[in-house]
Structure 1
């Protein structure tokens, strides 16, 4: 018989950005005991991990930051991890494909699933959304569905993969977050890990677009 306490545990892949921050608080609102998992995979915007750590302290939930940067010996070619300039422009532009990190979400979901099994959690949450579909193959519906099926059979314990915002845009994610009174000053989005957000990369542009569409002011400082 499944322990009812274990049914209330979930693992959140928590980058420190807007989407995973909102997913995290959605899970908390749903009454789950949250175990947040952040990854240092050598991303130039590792500043997001500092934001994740601060939020975990602020809200007092379990949080691990795991260094997997050694995987860059095997995967490369992304402007997020290699010495390649981060392209400017909207996500819809073909140049943004340079920000794809090969197989990233499959790797992160696999590790998070192993963690979920070890702590008796029932699911892994992550923040894929519709705005990612055009650029990131591992944020598309068919990928999430396939990973969900695999993670249910990869261990004796079936772990569900949940992407609650898979079919909505960042605009809608922010709308839901603002309705929950979330403070987005606690998030970092920019692909450049400088003191201030650049405002020009695809991540920044999509964030600013979401705030504008919600008639709200972004609390972050921009260059």
Structure 2
């Protein structure tokens, strides 16, 4: 893979930034594609842009605001509360988002001569989102190849990792401090450790605490 070109579906958050570092290690040339889907915080796109610039990779923003015309959810509407009820999809679920993003990422990848797509979805910490599951990714990979008559490969480096293990991977990639300080995961648009109260921040910060405890314990062995 080292001699090939890849496109990272990139949001500037913890997961996609870890995937970007993973891609930079595994591919000769890496491009990023970010989607403007009317998310609450334009800061997310600017954060992604700054990270791409700092790491010296190309940055492309695609307009996907049409999603807002079709569905209402807490990621695109200020008047919908961020909630997560057991047995139900979280209010932050954007129907069809990953399906559309990966499909358009494939079109972009084809235009620039890339055959590898990288996304930070995880079935371990997927919050119940159906479009983060391994079966969906494998199915879409087959569909894209049939639809475009290409041989794309969708890579999911985080698929079977919990948040503590994602932090561990970023550490193995010598990117722990970078990811901790420069990414934006918070549903309230606050970078780094975020607001500390929304579900995304809780998951991120608990994972970091668990990894640091594990690392400290290992250092004492």
CA distance change for structure 1 residues 94 and 203 in 2, over 3 Å: closer, same or farther?
farther
Residue 87 in 1 paired to residue 82 in 2?
Answer: yes
For structure 1, list consecutive stretches of 5 or more residues without a partner in the other structure.
Answer: 217-223
What SS does the aligned partner of 1:213 have?
helix
Match of 2:98 in 1: 105
Match of 2:210 in 1: 213
Contact 1:41 1:67 in 2 (8 A): yes
Within 5 Å, give how 1:23-172 maps onto structure 2: 23-74=19-70, 76-87=71-82, 93=86, 97-172=90-165
Match of 2:198 in 1: 201
| Structure 1: distance between partners of 2:111 and 2:27 | 20
Which of 17, 21, 25 is residue 17 of structure 2 equivalent to? 21
For structure 2, list consecutive stretches of 5 or more residues without a partner in the other structure.
Answer: 214-221
The Cα shift of 1:92 comes to 7.5
The Cα shift of 1:135 comes to 1.5
The Cα shift of 1:194 comes to 4.9
Contact 1:11 1:36 in 2 (8 A): yes
Runs of 4+ that moved beyond 3 A: 83-86, 91-96, 131-134
Q: Which has the higher contact order (CA 8 A, sep 6+)?
A: 1
TM-score w.r.t. structure 2 length? 0.86
The Cα shift of 1:168 comes to 1.3
CA distance change for structure 1 residues 133 and 207 in 2, over 3 Å: closer, same or farther?
closer
